[in-house]
Amino acid sequence: MNKALTLAVAATMMAACGTTEKETQVNIEKQTIELQGDRMTPEALWAMARIGSYAASPDGQKIAYQVAYYSVEHNKSHHVLFVMNADGSEPQQLTTDGASETDPAWLDNGTIAFLREGEVWKMNADGKGRKQLSETEGAVEGFKFAPDRKHVILLKSLPFTDIIEARPADLPLSTGRVVNDLMYRHWDHYVESIMHPFVAEVNSEFSIDNSQLTDILEGEPYECPMEPFGGIEQLDWSTDGQQIAYTCRKKTGLEYSISTDSDIYLYNIGTRETRNLCKAEGYVEPDIVATKTMKTQRVNAPENLVNNPGYDQNPKFSPDGRYVAWLSMARNGYEADRQRLCCYDLQTGEKQYLTESFDSNVDDFCWSDDQQAMIYFIGVWHGTENLYAVMNGNEVCQLSNEWADWGSLQMLNDGKRLLMERHSYLTPADLYVVSPNVEELDEEGNSAIAQQITNENKAILDQLAKPTCDQRWVKTTDGNDMLYWIILPPNFDETKKYPTLLFCEGGPQSPVSQFWSYRWNFFIMASQGYVIIAPNRHGLPGFGQQWLEQISGDWTGQCMSDYLVAIDDAAQNLPYVDRDRMGCVGASFGGFSVYYLASHHDGRFKCFIAHDGAFNLEAMYTETEENWFSNWEYDDAPWNTDQTANARKTYQNSPHRFVDKWDTPILCIHGEKDYRINATQGMSAFNAARMKGIEAQLLIFPDENHWVLKPQNGILWQRTYFAWLERWLGKGGN
């Protein structure tokens, strides 16, 4: 479930909603909505433009970037490209028709490559001189040119019949699938194809030689990039354009489903030889299949840092070509392990971990040409995603300290400035140019000067009264300090009482940082007259690894106590919280939390809303597709007679065992293409509530996955959500 970790950004980057590019195109432009009042509405939220990928020109003077516009009427999105000066001046839209154009990349200071209808194209920086560079019958799903522009990586999908057998030739209309192993489904689709990276030569004028495509995983039944969210960021070119570092988990079926062990490989385009940078020479992989009903091995052994048995991904070569750095987790099967920054010396073979003093995750990073700060990275700490620098090999210096999240970063090609995306509870994503200063801090603890260079939603935001954000610390029952965010309605009046929502985070190890979501959006919730209490309970990153790891094997213990501590503290100490009108809401692990708290809240809440939540943990153990998740979090299989104490506690406290204590109205929401937490979980919870005689609703989406991506479904989600809250809590400050 933790994959929802990268939820808001990933959802924005998904394919066009409600259609494919081969269907009728609609030239959806920027929305010019005029609101009837000053409160955020579902329609206003879906009218907002969404920043996507971006890239700076080699000289750092221009920036090309992607924006998605959505149409509720057409139930579609349209991705368009812009170019502007690096100071944000003179933005110009380059996309002129209804086809989506994405993934801008500079070929030189005057030429932009991009993806259109499954092919690589180029155009001048003013949008003229368009030319198609690849000819693959629309098969390209991503690309990356070598620094010398003599080769290019093309991502393409290939048929895959190792798990699901090919349809019989004489039964072309049959719809059944013959499945022979696990991982036959992933996230929201059946695995009948896998992506491979291909290398092609680039001729004069950047034309791609489509006649010679070399599959760097030829004959290997493995995916690269990795499902379900990986993209071109999982591959990188060496500075001389002769080698490719790529991410791959070289496993299939059962082995794949119970292992997170991906590695970084180095491929030589001349010799076509591949070597593994993660595993020591002579390493023999343990037989993980023998522990498929595992009692999880949670030991963080020293050899883990030598052989990298956990997630390793997103390699990036240093500007001088000597090093490759990547994001690395130490333990196999633990998808929420601490994500370190690993650096490999290609000359000596030495491997270093550069962020050991940072007790949280490195979420993204980039190399700098400035020798004073070798690598910049972003990571969450105390509820915000901040900017940091790694100096002198392993000294970590914090460069930002504000109530906002930095979402991604890259160098602006001068070695001195960063091009970054930033968002918060109160502001959607925009682009910034950041000038870090590792020597001086301002009064707020920032040493980075940020200049906003896009303001995509100014016309809508200027019409809205803004909520306000605050934070509060409270003691948990085990004596630790816990931060919780407080979001207050626009035009807040401290003399009034407001209905209040306890927000339960998913993951279970996803941060409650300053995210901006187009579904779980605190701005719109506050605009409807609700106070939101969002605790950073045990199990979340940004408060040290011990705090984060406490939740594994203890889903119904300390973290549930933390939720109740937070809402009780708010009810007792914040005079504007109406303790007689409190609701509890959440998705994924947050939905599980709702189902559990529905039987353990002692009358605190007047209604519940659970989206894509786990209801029956024994059933989910075998229903979910990424079995490593259940193995780690539950600690053991439900059928083992010698279960660990953690496993027994987990299954004995599954929410479905306590329906006899349910007594409060509940709204259950689920997507039928959610293969992470199957829709039967939400249906079962709704059925149980109604059979118990409890007021309940079920909002079921046959065509949505763990998220809600289509505009009209998104509007229906918001309307149903707020109608349920108003029915049981009322609205407004009264």
Residues with catalytic roles: 588, 674, 706
Alpha-carbon distance 156 to 96, whole Å? 26
**Angle subtended at Cα 142 by Cα 136 and Cα 146, rounded to the nearest 5 degrees:** 95
- Tokens representing 266 are 């180095």
Alpha-carbon distance 445 to 431, whole Å? 21
Cβ(367)–Cβ(343) below 8 Å: no
Q: Can you tell me which residue has the tokens 């490209």?
A: 81
Alpha-carbon distance 698 to 669, whole Å? 6
Alpha-carbon distance 201 to 211, whole Å? 9
**Among positive and negative, which fits the CA dihedral 306, 311, 315, 318?**
negative
Question: Mutual orientation of helices 645-652 and 627-634 as an angle, nearest 10°?
Answer: 110
3-state class (DSSP) for residue 253:
helix
DSSP assigned state of 288: G
Q: Can you tell me which residue has the tokens 């516009």?
A: 69
Cβ(349)–Cβ(355) below 8 Å: no
Cβ(107)–Cβ(145) below 8 Å: yes
Alpha-carbon distance 179 to 184, whole Å? 7
Provide the CA 399 distance to its chain's centre, in angstroms: 23
**Among positive and negative, which fits the CA dihedral 66, 70, 71, 75?**
positive
Give the phi and the psi of residue 438 in degrees, each rounded to 5.
-80, 0
Q: Can you tell me which residue has the tokens 């594994």?
A: 552
Give the phi and the psi of residue 719 in degrees, each rounded to 5.
-65, -45
Q: How many other C-beta atoms can be found within 10 angstroms of the C-beta atom of residue 186? A: 18
Cβ(706)–Cβ(188) below 8 Å: yes
**Among positive and negative, which fits the CA dihedral 555, 556, 557, 560?**
positive
* Alpha-carbon distances, residue 527 vs 42, 429, 488, 492, 515 (angstroms): 11, 19, 9, 10, 17
Provide the CA 3 distance to its chain's centre, in angstroms: 6
Cβ(607)–Cβ(729) below 8 Å: yes
The residue count of the chain comes to: 734
Compute the 3-state secondary structure of the chain and give helix, strand, coil in percent, each to the nearest 5: 20, 30, 50
- Tokens representing 665 are 């109205």
Alpha-carbon distance 669 to 672, whole Å? 10
